[in-house]
Amino acid sequence: MLGPMRRPAAALAFSWLLLLLCAAPAFPDRDTGVLAPLLEVQVLDRELVAIDAEGGGQRTERLERGERVLYTRSQGRVGVAVTDRRLLAVGTRSGAWQQARYRKDEAPPADVELGDRVALVLMATRAVGFDGGSRNLVESTLGPRESVLDTAVGQNVALVVTDRRALGLSSDRGGFFEVRLRSGEKIESVTALANHGTLQTSQRLLTFRGATASWEERRRTLR
């Protein structure tokens, strides 16, 4: 039995415990560390096979007549296959493979960039992303003479920076989310961490938050 002098201390300790529990991250399912591989992609005869170590089971996609698989990639919860006709992506617990066929004058991408829950692919006319939250492919068409300057991919977010705008992709929200660049604004650095990405320019520091799929701006002081 606690003595009269120990009860206040015990009550205080219990209050601190409750405070810590209430301060737990609002998004417990989002990963901040690098995941072990949870998805494997295999080419078996005329099928793509995604072996899901998290949700169990396998997801298969039949190749078309004459279609050739150029390469496959997987990391964390995401897998990608590039053929001579289309881009295919799948995530753990996906119901099926997702696909994007190449447009006229588009060639198969030379490479793809993967995080643990996102994938980013650049093509001649568009940026294509896969978010492991909705398990869908999303895209943003590049404008006439719009040039991609840089990209960055973290575990759960990806950034694409062109000479006109910056695009953010999040595993927590579907789609690309953009912020326009100003006239004369020069790109200095682009980085992506687990759940946010940053773009530093000659005029601003722009931060893309994966949890809300929103851009924050901090203006630079005169130097």
* Beta-carbon contacts of residue 108 (< 8 Å; ≥ 6 apart): 70, 82, 83, 84, 87, 102
Q: Say which residue, 17 or 113, is predicted with more confidence.
A: 113
**How does pLDDT run across 128-158, given as a tens digit for each residue?**
999 999 999 999 999 999 999 999 999 999 9
Helix ranges (DSSP H) in the chain: 7-22
Residue-level pLDDT at 36: 85
Reduced to 3 states, what is the DSSP secondary structure of residue 15?
Answer: helix
Whether residue 131 contacts residue 139, with contact meaning beta carbons closer than 8 Å, is answered with no
Average pLDDT over residues 26-55: 82
pLDDT band of residue 6 (cuts 50, 70, 90) is very low
Q: Which position has the token pair 């005869």? A: 45
DSSP 97: -
Domain boundaries along the sequence of the chain: 36-219
DSSP 63: P
Q: What percent of the chain has pLDDT over 90?
A: 81
Rounded to 10 degrees, what is the CA torsion of 171, 95, 108, 85?
-160
In the sheet with 58-62, reading across from the earlier edge strand, the strands are: 39-44, 47-52, 58-62
Residue-level pLDDT at 86: 99
